[in-house]
């Protein structure tokens, strides 16, 4: 839509990656100091702020005005939420059970994402059908 070349479009997605790298490194050092809960809450707030920022993106919006800060905020969420989540999932697992606990965490995340996507897609189709049938 914006006519970006493939390389430019790829570079435009790097702020999210940058946010993940920064937040994962920071979270791994902050979890022992402040605990996992504040970081996980902060991750949710950062994601909400990123989505709010991106909601103001228009066709004529410059990259540095809204998309860059919005993507950066969204990128800060995974590191600040998933690093503490992994720590919490593996607490109390012995060295023989750590692999099984990690596998359960991964499987739970994958199943949850699949179910969440299916539910949200069903809700979206229902909303679109209801909207178009009234027109």
Same domain, 11 and 56: yes
Domain count, the chain: 2
Task: Please state the pTM of the whole predicted model.
Answer: 0.71
Between the CA atoms of 29, 34, 111 and 103, what dihedral angle is there, to the nearest 10 degrees? 50
Residue 57 region, left (φ>0) first, then alpha (ψ -120 to 50), else beta?
Answer: beta
Nearest Cα to Cα of residue 81 among 48, 114, 55: 48
Q: Six-digit token pair at 87? A: 């720590």
Band (49; pLDDT cuts 50, 70, 90): very high
Taking the mean position of all CA atoms in its chain, how far away is CA 37? 17
pLDDT band at 82 (very low <50, low <70, confident <90, very high): confident
- Measured CA distances, 5 to 25, 49, 60, 90 (Å): 32, 28, 17, 43
Residue 69 and residue 24 share a domain: yes
Q: Are residues 43 and 18 in the same domain?
A: yes
Give the model's pLDDT for residue 1.
56
Instruction: Tell me the residue range of the domain where 12 lies.
Output: 1-78
Whether 126 maps to a domain, the answer reads yes
């Amino acid at each position: 839509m914006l006519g970006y070349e493939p390389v430019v479009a790829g570079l435009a997605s790097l702020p999210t990656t940058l946010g993940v790298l920064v937040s994962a490194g920071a979270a791994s050092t902050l979890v022992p100091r402040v605990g996992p809960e504040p970081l996980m809450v902060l991750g949710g707030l950062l994601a909400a702020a990123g989505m709010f920022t991106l909601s103001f993106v228009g066709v004529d919006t410059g990259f540095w005005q809204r998309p860059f800060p919005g993507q950066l905020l969204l990128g800060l969420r995974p590191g600040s939420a998933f690093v503490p989540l992994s720590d919490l999932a593996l607490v109390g697992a012995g060295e023989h059970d750590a692999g099984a606990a990690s596998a359960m965490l991964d499987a739970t995340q994958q199943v949850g994402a699949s179910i969440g996507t299916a539910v949200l897609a069903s809700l979206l189709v229902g909303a679109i059908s209801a909207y178009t049938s009234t027109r």
